[in-house]
Amino acid sequence: MEDYLQSPVGEGFFLPGEWEPHRRCWVQWPSRAERWRDLLPQAYAETAEIVRTIARFEPVYVIVRAEDMSQARFACGRNDAIHFVEYPIDDCWARDTAPMFLTNGVDKIAGIAWSFNGWGNAVHGFARDAALATAVLKTEQIQSFSGDMVLEGGAVSTDGYGTLLVTEECLLNEDRNPELRRPEIEERLALFLGARKVIWLGGGLGADPTQGQVSRVAVFAGRGTVLVSEAGDMGDLDRVTLDDNRAHLELAKDAKGNSLTVTAVPLPSIPQLDMDGRRLATNYLDYYVANGAVIMPAYGDANDDVAAGIVGAAFPDRQLVQVSATVLAMGGGAIRRLTQPEPSLDNI
């Protein structure tokens, strides 16, 4: 009982749907030179374009290292909706390293600082990113909760009403929380995020450097509506996993016992490769839902327009804007991974 009373849910907080009103969007500026190599200037340019685009619809707070501040300001340009805040960081994936923001739906916002271990120690040198969420919540004077397990924002998707999507590959990965089993993880998701029903999918994309985060393969696009990644090529190595995820969701029920509407979004038709010739986990679910808009990645692929039509139809009351994310994909992500929404109390 004490654990419950001292938890976010015990104080009335929950994780809202990403389409609910935002106070602002948090973005991290690309920083890991050894990852970006000669493409760092292009990564700056794509990030700046995404920041400027989101700023048309809601305020953007760009987290940037002191040594990169002038570069970030120059690239983004003068804009009253864009603010720059200085923190020591290791790279740019705010969805996984900035705070995960909660609301009580009435008059309070809170944040969770989960443990972060570099996506299961997949990268080296993540101590500054691991400390970021706590630092932001303290500086912004936002009520803070310390999550007692490793979890990234991209590893969950919620409908805002108690239903959560996750993958076994990511959350049960022995490099994240080897001491926790499924019931213990579900208990933490319930206490911290308000999850009353956790839908477990098998896995993510095979090339995913985050080891199977759900947000590349299945995300809620509204209450009762899920978008899933689909492999068009019969020989695609991800096809079995993606087909299994879709079939599982078509049989699943949400926290209220209702069936889900599942819509497939194709992967890019041509596999994207990184700087070493390895396949990338490019997908079209790596978008950001802003106030009044959906900012969606484009890869110069034949499926860019097809995917835009499907995602746009899922958000008919929002403007859909496509922004190139080809270079960001080379670094391991796109628009969703670059961003973290902070909910507003207006109209919740």
pLDDT for 84-119, tens place per residue? 999 999 999 999 999 999 999 999 999 999 999 999
229, 286 contact by CB (below 8 A): no
CATH code at 259?
Answer: 3.75.10.10
Cβ-based burial of 187 (10 A; exposed 0-12, middle 13-18, buried ≥19): middle
Which regions in the chain score pLDDT beneath 70?
1-5, 234-235, 347-348
95 within some domain: yes
262 within some domain: yes
344 within some domain: no
What's the one-letter identity of residue 274? D
218 within some domain: yes
User: What distances in angstroms separate CA 99 from CA 20, 23, 154, 167, 307, one per listed residue?
Assistant: 17, 14, 12, 21, 29
User: What distances in angstroms separate CA 62 from CA 6, 67, 84, one per listed residue?
Assistant: 31, 14, 5
Average pLDDT, the chain: 95
Instruction: Give the up-direction half-sphere exposure of residue 224: CA atoms within 13 A in the CB hemisphere.
Output: 5
DSSP 345: S
Sheet holding 143-150, edge to edge: 100-103, 109-115, 143-150
Q: What is the pLDDT of residues 245-254, one digit of tens each?
A: 999 999 999 9
The pTM of this model reads 0.96
Q: Which two tokens stand for residue 134?
A: 């706590």
The whole-number pLDDT of residue 277 equals 84
DSSP codes joined into one string, 100-149: EEEE-SSS-EEEEEEE--HHHHTSS--HHHHHHHHHHHHHTT-EEEEEEE
In terms of residue numbers, what domain contains 300?
Answer: 2-338
Domain count, the chain: 1
Report the distance separating Cα 175 and Cα 298, nearest Å: 32
Q: What is the pLDDT of residues 220-266, one digit of tens each?
A: 999 999 999 999 876 678 999 999 999 999 999 999 999 999 999 99
348 within some domain: no
346 within some domain: no
List, in order, residues 6 or more apart from 247 with CB less than 8 Å away: none
324 within some domain: yes
